[in-house]
Amino acid sequence: MAGPAFEALRTHGLAFPEAEEDFPWGHTALKVRGKSFAWLDESDGALSLTVKLPASRDFALVFDFAAPAGYGLGRSGWISCRFGAGETPDLDLLQRWLAESYRAVAPKKLAALLPEED
């Protein structure tokens, strides 16, 4: 059973226009028109989130929980966030990053349907 932070992020991402869920490699992938905009995983109580952040990447990397994503994705602006069991992630921040990642991956007409960030 997934924890509340995982479920909150999953639900938030699936609320975006045409967002779908897929399960490659045993992880939850959030996709729009077949392209992943986020990966979520929760194993042994530890939460991980990987998103593409073209605007916020450098800011994100100041946090201890964030690092460039593996498999060469970090060079393209993808970051991975990891939170240990018992850590409480900042859901507002992570939901903003989910929206940024969606905007970066989604077709422009779909991305334009999201409300503007504050």
Mean pLDDT of the chain: 91
Closest CA to 82 of 71, 94, 92, 73: 94
Global confidence as pTM: 0.91
Residue-wise pLDDT tens digits, 30-76: 999 999 999 999 987 899 999 999 999 999 999 999 999 987 777 77
Cβ count near 18 (within 10 Å): 12
Which domains are present in the chain?
A: 4-111 (3.90.1150.30)
Q: How far apart are CA 57 and CA 69, in angstroms?
A: 11
Q: How far apart are CA 13 and CA 11, in angstroms?
A: 6
